[in-house]
Structure 1
Amino acid sequence: MKLPLFKSLLFLSVAAFPLSCAQNVAPTSATVQTPAASQKAVKVEVRKKNGRFQLYRGGKPYFIKGAGGGRYLDQLAAYGGNSIRTWSTHNAQQILDEAHKHGLTVTMGLDVARERHGFDYNNAEAVAKQLAKLREEVMKYKDHPALLVWGIGNELNLSYSNPKVWDAVNDIAKMIHEVDPNHPASTMLAGLNKKEVDYIKAQAPEIDLLSINAYGDLPSIPGRVREYGWEGAYMITEWGPTGHWEGPQTPWKASVEETSSEKAAVYRSRYEATMGKDTERCLGSYVFLWGQKQERTPTWYGLFTEQGEESEVVDVMHHLWSGKWPQNRAPHLTYVHLDGKKATDNIYLKPNQSYLIQTEVTDPDRDALTYRWELLSESTDLKEGGDAESRPGAIPGIVQDQGKGQAQVKAPEKEGAYRLFVYAYDGKNNVATANIPFFVKK
């Protein structure tokens, strides 16, 4: 069943990803663990037997059913998940303790500086200083029983040119092996290509397993791992909807987002095509994002809304992890139309004119639905690699609800790009979401 949510005021950002820990909810008796202070490190290792790689934790096989983020850990554990991933050691003690309390493990991120943010890997002094700082972090958390894997940096291959970064990654992994013999070291790549595989094989042999962030191209990863010559194990450390860089775009360069129900379908198909099939090399995955963030839109990557409602994607993950559907499921959104057009129809509206919005939403449990409409200017604070973006402010008084999934929108007077959002709630903390980009032009 779905548990009630306990809200947190801290939002997630992915660059250094300072994560808020899940709220201090008393765990159920089934998930209570012995206090971490009285525990020792649990040995984690990658083993190969008969051509198959497998992760072992405490001497037992361990397949990662994980999510990126540090919130809603009670729900994650209740729905069949077993691990979380962070992007840095921010709030690490709190996150590790909370994860342990819920019977979860943590792939702990080490925030390694990125060339695209101005770090120079030719600067030996800066590189040595970074290594020393990371050594302190590893020493501080290496014996926590919830620790699973060390994640060295995130997407260090994004917009970079200096391959010396892989020498630094190797030095970090070597340091980890020297001070922490109980946990493997990995590094997280943005996608997968042969150049990075070759660099890592040649310059970072201390890496125990490869980690890959992939979205629309996730099903191609098992084949490309082999094609590009990676001979070891890997895990998927970010995956989810079609990325904003992968799908359709309007003539004014607004990316078209899938509805929550379209996302539910692609999450299932991509999981089954990748983690569900590659039993030889894949050690599991972390779905992105077990929380909410602004990245292109407020709804693109989060499986939850800003208020903590759960989307249909959460239901899918519940089923993929546990083999069971929740007792009460999220609404299903079939379509949303603006002036009779769908999001990919490149919609132009006239200033100050009114247009009809129609959406069809059904609820599997026949719960009564309520709707919320929101109009935002198209975001202009666009970053890459998950760096923090600011949310556009809502434009009030523009949309008038007419009930039963219909509304009237009065196009803004000012020319430009906008995006109309619909949220359909079932009153049981579940939601369906969709949005349509449009352009106001005289």
Structure 2
Amino acid sequence: MLALLGGVLTATHQAATAATSAGQEGADPDPALTAASVVEVAGGDGDWQLTVDGEPYVVEGLTWGPPADQADSYMPDLASMGANTTRTWGTDASSRPLLDAAAANGIRVIAGFWLQPGGGPGSGGCVDYVNDHDYKGEQLAAMNTWVAEYRDHPGVLMWSVGNESVLGLQNCYEGTELEAQRVAYTRFVNDAALEIKALDPDHPVTSTDAWVGAWEYYEAHSPDLDLFQVNAYDAVCGIQQAWIEGGYDRPYILTEGGPAGEWEVDDDVNGVPEEPTDVAKAEGYRAAWDCLMDHEGVALGGTLFHYGVEEDFGGVWFNLLPGGEKRLSYYAVADLFGGQAPANTPPVITDLAVGGDRTSVPAGSEFTLSASVNDPDGDTPTYEVLVNSKYIDDNGALTPADFRDNGDGTLTVTAPGRPGPWKVYLAARDGQGNLGIEATSVNVVPPPVDGTNLALGAETTASTFQEEGDGAPFLPEHATDGDDGTRWASDWSDPQWLQVDLGASTRFDTVQLYWETSHARAYEVQVSENAQDWTPVHTVTDGAGGVETAAVDATGRYVRVLGTERGTGWGYSLYEFGVYAS
């Protein structure tokens, strides 16, 4: 076992020290910006530079995460890191507090305009850039409105039209139509650039996309963009060679980059992408920045990802201060930008491991978690264990798990009640506003039941079943086939039932229901000798889904689950329905 060093294990989340509190010592941030600037892309032929009022300007920044109306609370901290720039994805009436706070702290903003479809989660619906002239007209009008509103604001560095839409269009089209849409989109971006420049000749216009594969479209169809932008994450060190091989004629800014994302890493034994450690993430930012700065005269700087405060799945993966708590990556980026030296740094967790077989952990059972934790400043960490079900139901929330300290450097953790692959996080807090957090996974399975499953392979019928949808048909017999990868699903109405014919009147003592997300809030397990007259043997009025196991003393040939109230807006759905006799 690996020891937990220098810590006291508690289930209580210690209050986070605000990200804006004192915690670094050193030079003051840049003075406030009080007047609009003239920003230009100067030079050429591999010897470009960005200038602000004629002075060289290297973009050293982070993408912006907190709400715009909280910018005055967080922007001083961003400035203390040595950042001179932040980047947004949208600009509208709500942007003024962010621009005001940025300017007050010597920070300039790459002001974005969102266009559908972006490339990542939550990116919006599909748009027909060939034919939907109304959408394009509406977007141009909105961009013109906000450029006119903010063009004289001292916080504006440049305008950025769209984010990853060349990539995102592949989710809407294919083949020759996809090609036509990408051409139409990048031509529209150029139209936007021309209109923005007519309103504001003093700030460059650019557009960003995922990786450099989109640049050939901008090169051919967006000649009026002043520079390229690219989101690259763990692939930053390949941009320079790709730029050379592509023969491109414009410089670029990195707009999202740093450690590897979940799409760039290998899966673990449970099929869960292996999240880099805090140490690896910090090194990822350093490596990305070194490679970017090595492309002299072409790479004009970048905004690393991400100055965010969300404390969910994505927040733990990417944010420098989830929940307002600073991580190793926060201090690594501050060091890159010449920010204030830290007075205290986070606990470092290494060698996080699950004892035993983490591919088969019974729901509600206990498993062992171990790790080594070291606090560089000698602070006594407190701990929290959290779990996340993203790879079951795409839910990003982190939920505290019950655990206890065994006193020997290990934790005993209670597994979630719902089967499937769960991420498990160990968080260590030093009481100084710093956070160390690492992740692993366990695959939760239905708890074993003593005896013989009489329903396995038995004739199974239902009131209804869904014949359409991804994975359909969702047949009744899927609930008794012994395969957790198949399921029965009913129509979206009450009541619904699933019935098993045991072949003869049989006594049984346990039932187990393994629900999909579409579970029953209220249901009965009933028995019958003739499939007409039913007697309830188990009643639930507050079902929560997952795996529900109940002891009964019942006899019958037919066993039925009668759902009377759904727990979701969908129907009823069971992966497995077991009827056991010991």
The TM-score range, normalised by the shorter chain, is 0.7 to 0.9
TM-score between the two structures when normalised by the length of structure 2:
0.65
Where 1:373 maps in the other structure, the secondary structure is: strand
> Given that residues 32 and 101 in structure 1 are in contact (C-alpha distance below 8 angstroms), is that contact kept between their aligned partners in structure 2?
yes
Alignment-mate amino acid for residue 338 of structure 1: V
Q: Secondary structure at the match of 1:126?
A: helix
1:260 to 275, 278, 283: 278
SS of 1:166 mapped into structure 2: helix
Matching of residue 42 in structure 1 with residue 33 in structure 2: no
Task: Tell me, in whole angstroms, the C-alpha distance in 1 between the residues paired with 2:224 and 2:59.
Answer: 22
Shift of 1:350: 3.2
Aligned to 1:370: 382
Q: Structure 2 regions of 5+ residues with no counterpart?
A: 1-15, 22-26, 67-73, 119-123, 170-177, 447-582
Deviation (angstroms), 1:294: 6.6
- Distance in 2, matches of 1:327 and 1:251, equals 39
Aligned position for 1:227? 245
Secondary structure of the residue aligned to 1:222 is helix
Q: Is the 8 A contact 1:79 1:322 kept in 2?
A: yes
Determine what percentage of the aligned residue pairs are the same residue: 29
Shift of 1:31: 5.0
Q: Is contact 2:259–2:281 with CA below 8 Å preserved after alignment?
A: yes
Determine which of 202, 211, 234 is the counterpart of 1:216.
Answer: 234
Q: How many angstroms apart in 2 are the aligned matches of 1:286 and 1:413?
A: 41
Distance 1:74-1:323 versus aligned 2 partners, 3 A rule: closer
Do structure 1's residue 119 and structure 2's residue 124 form an aligned pair? no
SS at match of 1:313: helix
One of 200, 203, 213 as aligned partner of 2:221: 203
Following the alignment from structure 1 to structure 2, what is the Cα–Cα distance between the partners of residues 403 and 46? 61
Q: Report the RMSD for the aligned CA atoms in angstroms.
A: 2.5
Runs of at least 5 residues in structure 1 that lack an aligned partner in the other structure: 8-21, 23-27, 383-389
Equivalents in 2 of 1:331, 1:412: separation in Å? 27
Q: Deviations over 1:152-205 (max 9, x none)?
A: 111111231212001110000111111101100110111111xx2222112110
Which of 6, 11, 18 does residue 5 from structure 1 map onto?
18
Q: Equivalences for 1:145-164 in 2 at 5 Å? A: 145-160=154-169, 161=178, 162-163=181-182, 164=184
Deviates more, 1:297-306 or 1:248-257: 248-257
The alpha-carbon deviation at position 279 of structure 1 amounts to 1.3
Give, in whole Å, the separation in 1 of the partners of 2:305 and 2:407. Answer: 33
- Name the structure with the higher strand share: 2
Query: Which amino acid in 1 is paired with 2:18?
Result: L
Distance 1:4 1:46, change over 3 A: farther
Structure 1 residues 238 and 297, CA gap change in structure 2 (3 angstroms): closer
Deviations 1:90-124 (A, max 9, x none): 42111110000101000001122327612221212
- Residue by residue, what CA displacement relative to the aligned partner does 1:129-153 show, whole Å, maximum 9, x if unpaired? 2211211111111111110010111
> 2:189 is matched with which residue?
169
Q: Is the CA contact 2:293–2:299 (under 8 Å) kept in the aligned structure 1?
A: no
Structure 2 SS opposite 1:188: strand
Distance 2:419 2:398 in 1: 17
Residues 1:230 and 1:373: Cα distance change in structure 2 (over 3 Å): same
Partner of residue 147 from structure 2, selected from 123, 134, 138: 138
* Correspondent of 1:312 among 328, 333, 337: 328
Structure 2 distance, partners of 1:241, 1:380, is: 24
Cα deviations by residue, 1:384-407 (Å, 9 ceiling, x for unpaired): xxxxxx53362643x224468631
CA offsets 1:406-435 (integer angstroms, 9 cap, x no match) = 310133344222121111111111111111
Q: CA deviation at 1:49?
A: 5.5
Larger Rg: 2
Is the CA contact (8 Å cut-off) linking 2:84 and 2:108 kept in structure 1? yes
Q: Structure 1 pair 251/81, CA: closer, same or farther in 2 (3 Å)?
A: same
Give the alignment's TM-score, normalised by structure 1. 0.84
The answer to whether the Cα contact below 8 Å between 1:361 and 1:405 also exists between their aligned partners in 2 is: no
Deviation of residue 373 (structure 1)?
Answer: 1.1
Relative to structure 1, is the Cα distance of residues 405 and 135 closer, same or farther in structure 2, using a 3 angstrom cutoff?
A: farther
